Amino acid sequence: MGKYTLIVTEKPDAANRIADALDSAGKAERKVERGVPYYVAKRNSDIVVVPALGHLYTVAAEKKEKGQYPVFSYHWVPMYSAKRGANRTRSWLETITKLSKEADVFIDACDYDIEGSIIGYCILKYACGQKERAAKRMKYSTLTKEEIVKAYSEVLPQLDFALIEAGLTRHEVDWLYGINLSRALTAAAKNYSGRYATLSTGRVQGPTLSFLAARERSIKCFVPTPYWSIKAALVIGGSVFEAEYEKNPIRIKEEAEAVVNACKGKDGEIESIETKRLQQMPPLPFDLGSLQSEAYRLFKYTPMRTSKIAQRLYLDALISYPRTSSQKLPPAIGYEAILKKLGKTREYQALAAELLAKPELKPNEGKMEDPAHPAIYPTGNLPERALDSAERNVWSLVVRRFMAAFSGPSLQQTVKVIIAINGQRFHLRGRQTLAEGWLRFYKPYVRLEDASLPPMDEGQKVSVKQVVLEDKFTQPPPRYNPSSLLKKMEKEGVGTKATRAGIIQTLYDRKYIYEERIVVTDLGFKVTEVLKKYCPTVVSPELTRQLEEKMSEIQQKKETKENVLLNAIEILKPAAEKLKENEKVIGAQLTQALKNAKLDEKTVGACPTCHGGKLVIVYSRKTGKRFVGCTNYFEGKCKTAFPLPQRGSVKPTGNVCKGCGLPTVRIWMRGKRPWNLCLNPECPAKTK
């Protein structure tokens, strides 16, 4: 093989699809060198397509001084030289370098976004011998054959250097924040306790944890106040309907009781009937955030899981590029062709045919636009392999959302009936769907339950079955879940569409938070308190938002990378100094929080015998076996203990057994499904 074109892609699956699409016979030759797959496609000239493994280069300190901070001197290095467990990337880079020697044309075909642009740029610059300025750029939003061939034939003459500059700045700023703040926390705890524990924070992680800590504090400090609600059971047309008192909620009990007393033994009369017709427009096409939120609402998939599923569907050429913030579907994607392909399946045949019969296909679009990619849409391709249930759910969701965007509005009729009972007014509401419109296309992912009312007339007498006074208490603000936290981050401008899900997962991994309805741990609180006390500016959402704006300005060539980095260092320097000055105090606080965190991980529940101690998972030094014992054992106050299985992992569930009321634990064993185990060997539920 003589000279050839070298195309660099982000992932192996993408390389395979691109090579097959560009090969004249539709099947490129697969080769492997040192475990690295690459593909040779025959076209007018030879094309070699080689994949990366995501990021092959990263930012690292110029001097390897473990744990030292502050550090402001850095450079870009191969991943294997900076991170443990990344040795595989060495052979990857060496293979790419070898393949670049005989290439005379270079094309970056990594995903067209900030991360993909950095991956391609670094490979071309460092592994291919400074070829970043000579390289061309393929831009595509799906991995369908048609779009790949089009992107290759209309290849852009150069890389998008403004996008690359913004991406490099974000990585470098995030590294500066992360390395300095994380090292400060880790060093404080280690120097105080003599034990190493991984503690981290950063430009996005800090503000996100602050949102959660603020909500947790408001929940813990919340004092419920009583209020009262009045409802009337009315008999209309032989059926009973529930009407709400017009002044609910009522803050003074005497007022509520006076209303109930006034209504006793009285009939009602219909004062007015107000009917409205409401159009509900079709939903907007998915961007990544709305797809993640919807997948959580429907399937309880975390944002990170949804992002990974969507990426697999993209690599299978089933959906367009998912990491987009766009709510636009341009005509260039080929509405009609996509619907015709989808119509080949039994599930979507009738719905696709209905849309294709419309005189014009025009989607309902939102305001948000992404310069790199349109909203997420199905390519029309059908699965070439069996999708697992999660993949099928997300694919179906994207397909139905796409079709719903092209359908008509739904039409609902609402009825508001005002009933007077001895001068006290009650509201009765009804709703009826007159035209399904887009609802039919989006089933089963949306439900509108009609609440029909019988025919009524103004002045009509109504029998009052009873009037009920309900005692209630105000509720604390709800806890964030991964979906609502994602929306909060979007609203506050913290993080990017590509990084938010990963930040949330990191908070779980660091044991700063737990549970689906997110609870902040003592460790999470302490990290937030330390940062807010000693460097509040660094973890403020305002600073993070300003930096994001600066990076957008770099992309628009209104700001420079150098200015943004200098500004970041100016903010970080005094923050790092303040943390170092107070290292002992911070270390003591973090060490105690880490101890509490470890105890919480082992705590199963309250001791049922002494009621003062806690049941914790204990390992015996003598026997090497584990069991659950009371913390008061060490003080000679309680000898309560329960056996545990000696194989597999054990974690507290936080729940009690319904059979006997003792705490339960979750057991994981290799080759078996996890199960909950009641600690009580004589639990009545075990003998059934």
Nearest partner of 14 among 315, 382, 323, 321, judged by Cα: 315
Q: Which helix (H) or strand (E) holds 396?
A: helix 389-406
The Cβ of residue 188 has, within 10 Å, a number of other Cβ atoms equal to 24
Helix or strand holding residue 41 (H, E): strand 36-42
Establish whether the linkage from the previous residue to 371 is cis, with ω within 30° of 0: no
φ, ψ at 30 (rounded to 5°)? -95, 130
CA dihedral 471, 477, 481, 484 (to 10 degrees): 120
The radius of gyration computed from the CA coordinates of the chain, to the nearest angstrom, equals 31
- Is 256 in contact with 411 (CB distance < 8 Å)? no
Contact 11, 36 (CB under 8 A): no
Question: Tokens standing for 378?
Answer: 């199905």
CA contacts within 13 A on the Cβ side of 140: 29
Please give the Cα distance from 525 to 533 (Å, whole number).
Answer: 12
Is residue 125 classed as helix, strand or coil in its secondary structure? helix
Residues 6+ apart with CB under 8 A from 586: 184, 185, 188, 530, 534, 579
**Which residues are paired to 57 by β-bridges?**
78
* Angstrom distance (rounded) from CA 364 to CA 444: 20
Positive or negative: CA dihedral 451, 456, 459, 460: negative
Look at the alpha carbons of 347, 348, 351, 354 in this order and tell me if their dihedral is positive or negative: negative
The residues, any chain, with a CB within 8 Å of residue 288's CB and separated by 6 or more, are 307, 310, 322, 323, 324, 325, 376, 497, 498
> Do 434 and 413 contact (CB within 8 A), yes or no?
yes
Distance CA 475, CA 473 (A): 6
Region of residue 636 (left: phi > 0; alpha: psi -120 to 50; beta: else): left
69 catalytic residue (yes or no): no
Residue 17 CA to residue 144 CA, distance in Å, equals 8
Single-letter amino acid, residue 217: R
d(Cα 579, Cα 191) in Å, to the nearest integer? Answer: 13
Residue 402 and residue 546: Cα distance in Å, rounded? 34
Cα–Cα nearest to 282, from 413, 435, 432: 435
Q: Which of 321, 335, 348, 442 is catalytic?
A: 321
Q: What share of the chain is helix, strand, coil (3-state, %, to 5)?
A: 40, 25, 35
In whole angstroms, give the CA distance from residue 437 to residue 281. Answer: 9
Show which residues are catalytic.
Answer: 321
